[in-house]
Amino acid sequence: MPAASTTHGLSRRRLVWLGLVGLALASVAAYAMLALNREAVRISHPAVVLVKDGVRSLDEAWAVASNAAQFPAMLPGHIQALPDEWAASRPGYQGGVWYRFHFEHVPSAVDPLQAVYIERACSNVEVHLNGELIWRGGRMSDPYTRNCYRSHLVPLPQGLLKSADNLLDIKVVGYPVERVTARQRAGGLAAVRIGPLQEIRALSDQQTFWSSTLAQVLGGLLAVLGLFALGLAWVRKLGYLVHFGLLTLGWALMTGRLFPLDVPMPNAAQEVLIALFFAPMAAFAVKFLLGYAGHGVRSAGVLNGGRVNAVLWAQCVLMPASLLLLGSNHLFLGARIWYVVFSLEIFAAIAYFLWEAGKGRRAEFWLMCVALGVVAAVLGIELSYQAGLLRLWGIHVTHFVMPLLYAAVAVRLIQVYARALQTAEGARQQLEKRVHEISVEIERNFNQIAELRVEQIAEKERKRIASDLHDDLGAKLLTIVHTSDNDRISTLAREALEEMRLSVRGLTGRPMVLSDALADWRAEVVSRLGQAGIECEWRNPNEIIEEPLSSRTYVQTTRILREAVSNVIKHSAASHVVIAAEVLLAHREFQLVIQDNGKGIPLELDGRLDRGHGMTSMKHRAKQLSGQCLVESGPGFGTVIRLTLPLEMATLQQVRAAGMTMPGSAASMRSNASSH
């Protein structure tokens, strides 16, 4: 069976790889057929002017290479079909090229205003009508204004138009493909259209939306996804989310059309700066894929994480250095080599991720297969276009496909995170349920043990231990308190004596009168607050309260009161504390209210009062006694702790029978202390 499953897994992986290769080849073939088909249509229909909805498309022009300020009518030229890509028609040429069009003015009854629409002119363009300059896109001298990704709408002045034989001269300045790092920024001119201003404006708005507005919208969405991924990475401490967030932000910056068009910087410097983005982008892509596949930078598997990091980050320095060494005339060659290197690295990371995801049968295997297959196809198309194997004039596949892929991967990452949160929440609820069941079981067992009167044996042993502690350890601690010359040792001994007394009280299990308990608590609290320099006002009921108080209630209440006083001393910065005791006979309850005039609990802790160990223990002890401990506070208004506990059904006769000077009682300790 293992052999069969392994064979099945291998066959599935073979199918995946065949599918990815087929997808890439099909994409390349489709774009190649599209480009060839467009070229064939252009050759078989060489019309100079096409008319559609009043808009004429000027597909041919008389072209002259010149940097003259006006159209050089005396220089030789030739008829040039549009779009004109300089990399094919005039390789190695830098400067200006004039394009002359002849057209007749055909007034429109709907819109008498005429305009010219230039879909794309790289790198910059100016327009002359009948020998007069009517529009300029920016700087026409080196370095040229970069308008390669913009369309141009040029209204035609009515006063310059003739009824027949108008001359439209368009001057385009640009760089040869050898001096740019991407073919999209090489010189060239697309088809020119002329017609009513309203129709031309609609064409311009449509092209502006697809080439600029949509890119900016997608860039904004990618920036949001990148920031979300970085925030998620900060919460979850996942390195691959950091790389995905940086990759998404980098792509948004590169494709968001946010760069200034007119930069007073040499063209070579601008191209090197643009190419600088690709090295870290490739590094982020590779590290994301490796990290998401489970390959950390310190793992020692097939790949070595340290070496991978060294190679990836060394490229960020080597790429610009190599482009500068090659010089401005070989920028495209150097960039193409680096693009191939980056693509191979990404292909290798994709293969590694798919191998690991397929081997581990991860849930997102098929989704990532499709997404990464499309990435591979897009990279293949882009490399083919940069190499001149495909003609995709004005089409930028990566600018529209890649954001969708980033969004798909981001949605998957969010699903993984949400599923992890759901699993953790389910585990927490299951744990709480189990703890509750165990607590109920423990309580039930405890009740059963009590019913079997096993407590009698424990009670006898507790009394023996309490007697030993009181007679032996208590006497020694009292001796230390009164004979030690070191104040700290004396203080520690006194605290230990008080704690021992409280423990003895709990061990003996003997009830006491509530008035005596209040006296003990008052003496201790007033002493502690006084030593801390805090004024204490203790309010007891006027009458003597002879209600019984069980030893368990006394011990737990003492500990709650000590914790509350400790919080006042340590955290409240209070100068006055009021402690009020009240017995509610109708409900068989007594209540202690501790109120200070301190600074209160800060706002940042609002809603999280139970997270501190002290508050938690106070509430827990009160709950054990079937009571409650409420905390009320506000910044600058002090803190109020309201402790309400039930009076257990111990009779006064039991209290008196136990004796008012039992071992461990406050009276006994005071008498012993005075005798020593």
CA distances, 527 to each of 95, 417, 437, 511, 537 (Å): 95, 54, 43, 25, 12
Nearest-10 crossing angle of helices 474-483, 666-675: 50
Backbone angles phi, psi at 543, to 5 degrees: -80, 160
Are the beta carbons of 189 and 59 closer than 8 angstroms?
no
Instruction: Pull the structure tokens for residue 395.
Output: 């089409």
Distance CA 13, CA 16 (A): 5
Cα 49 vs. chain centroid, distance in angstroms? 54
Q: Which residues contact 601 (CB under 8 A, 6 or more apart)?
A: 609, 631, 633, 634, 635, 639
Beta strand 535-539 pairing with 576-584: parallel
Amino acid at 531: Q
Confidence grade of residue 115 (pLDDT, cut at 50, 70, 90): very high
The enclosing H or E element of 180 equals none
Question: Which pLDDT score, from 0 to 100, does residue 63 have?
Answer: 95
Residue 634 clears pLDDT 70, i.e. is over it: yes
Helix (H) or strand (E) holding 459: helix 455-468
Query: Residue 489 to residues 253, 485, 486, 498, 615: CA-CA distances in angstroms?
Result: 68, 8, 5, 14, 29
Q: Which of the pair, 661 or 231, is modelled with greater confidence?
A: 231
Model confidence at 62, pLDDT cuts 50, 70, 90, reads: very high
φ, ψ of residue 500 to 5 degrees: the values are -65, -40
The predicted pLDDT at position 579 comes to: 92
What per-residue confidence (pLDDT) applies to 237? Answer: 75
Strands of the sheet with 60-65, listed across from one edge: 78-81, 60-65, 95-103, 166-174, 124-129, 132-136
461 CB-near residues (< 8 Å, 6+ apart): none
Kindly report the average pLDDT of the chain as a whole number. Answer: 76
Please say whether the beta carbons of 341 and 280 come within 8 A.
no
Token pair listed for 401: 């496909």
Which tokens in the block code for residue 357?
Answer: 């995801």
| 8 A C-beta contact, residue 269 and residue 142 | no
Q: Which amino acid is at 573?
A: A
pLDDT of residue 397: 61
pLDDT > 70? residue 403: yes
> Per residue in 68-89, pLDDT tens?
999 998 999 999 999 999 988 9
Percent of the chain scored above 70 by pLDDT?
Answer: 72
pLDDT at 386: 78
> How far apart, in whole angstroms, are the C-alpha atoms of residue 377 and residue 362?
23
Comparing 546 with 478, the larger pLDDT belongs to 546
**Measured between alpha carbons, how far is 103 from 123 in angstroms, rounded to an integer?**
25
Q: Cα angle vertex 315, ends 312, 316, to 5°?
A: 100
Which DSSP symbol is given to 132? E
Higher local confidence (pLDDT), 283 or 469: 283
Nearest C-alpha neighbor of 70 from the set 156, 121, 133: 133
Residues in the chain: 676
pLDDT tens string 264-323: 888 888 888 888 888 898 899 888 888 887 754 443 344 445 788 888 888 888 988 998
Lowest mean pLDDT among 200-204, 391-395, 533-537, 575-579: 391-395
Q: Is the pLDDT of residue 175 over 90?
A: yes
3 — pLDDT class (breaks 50, 70, 90): very low
pLDDT in the model for residue 544: 65
Q: How far is CA 588 from the centre of its chain?
A: 55
- Position 617 pLDDT exceeds 60: yes
The pLDDT confidence band at residue 543, using thresholds 50, 70 and 90, is: low
> Which range among 271-285, 523-537, 605-619 shows the weakest confidence by mean pLDDT?
605-619
Measured CA to CA, the distance from residue 602 to residue 609 in angstroms comes to 10
Checking if the pLDDT of 364 tops 80, the result is no
Measured in whole angstroms, the distance separating CA 650 from the mean position of its chain's CA atoms is 60
Q: Quick one: pLDDT at residue 150?
A: 85
CB of 373 closer than 8 Å to CB of 23:
yes
Give me the pLDDT at residue 48, please: 40
Whether omega before 384 lies within 30 degrees of 0, making that bond cis, reads: no
Q: Give the per-residue pLDDT at 249.
A: 85
Helix (H) or strand (E) holding 583: strand 576-584
Residues 6 or more apart whose Cβ sits within 8 Å of residue 57? 49, 50, 191, 192, 193
pLDDT of residue 153 exceeding 90? yes
Name, of 249-253, 521-525, 608-612, the range with top average pLDDT: 521-525
**What is the rounded CA–CA span in Å between residue 582 and residue 545?**
10
Residue pair 574/638 in contact (Cβ under 8 Å)? The answer is yes
**Beta bridge mates, 100:** 62, 169
Predicted pLDDT of residue 481: 63
Go through the domains of the chain in sequence order and give each one's CATH number.
Answer: 46-203 (2.60.120.260), 511-658 (3.30.565.10)
- pLDDT tens for 96-110 read 999 999 988 877 766
| List of residues 6+ apart from 204 with CB closer than 8 A | 117, 151, 152, 153
pLDDT at 36: 42
Burial of 530 (0-12, 13-18, 19+ CB in 10 A): exposed
Average pLDDT estimate for 474-493 = 67
pLDDT for position 37: 40
Cβ(288)–Cβ(248) under 8 Å? no
Q: How far from the centroid of its chain's Cα atoms is residue 388's Cα?
A: 40
pLDDT range class, residue 43, cuts 50, 70, 90: very low
| pLDDT of 27 strictly over 60 | no
pLDDT at residue 659 greater than cutoff 80: no
pLDDT on residue 502: 67
Q: What is the mean pLDDT of residues 109-130?
A: 88
Reference 552, options 455, 411, 656, 667; nearest CA is: 455
Judged against a pLDDT cut of 80, whether residue 6 lies above it is answered with no
Q: Whose structure tokens read 């209210």? A: 593
Helix (H) and strand (E) counts in the chain:
19, 21
3-state secondary structure of 292: helix
Kindly state the DSSP code that residue 211 receives in the 8-state scheme.
I
Secondary structure of 330-394 in the HEC alphabet? HHHHHHHHHHHHHHHHHHHHHHHHHHHHHHCCCCCHHHHHHHHHHHHHHHHHHHHHHCCCCCCCC
Closest by CA to 125, choosing from 139, 113, 115, is 139
Residue 393 has pLDDT above 70, yes or no: no
- Flag whether pLDDT at 607 surpasses 60: no
Comparing CA positions, the residue from 273, 153, 278 lying closest to residue 212 is 153
Residue 257, Ramachandran bin (φ over 0: left; ψ between -120 and 50: alpha; else beta): left
Interatomic CA distance for residues 417 and 149, integer angstroms: 38
Higher pLDDT, 104 or 49: 104
Contact status, residue 144 vs residue 169, Cβ threshold 8 Å = no
Strands annotated E in 588-666: 589-596, 628-633, 639-646
Summarised one tens digit per residue, pLDDT across range 443-457 is 888 777 777 666 666
* pLDDT above 70 (res 667): no
d(C-alpha 222, C-alpha 249), whole Å: 6
Q: What is the mean pLDDT of residues 312-340?
A: 89
Rounded to an integer, the average pLDDT of 511-518 is 82
Whether residue 309 contacts residue 359, with contact meaning beta carbons closer than 8 Å, is answered with no
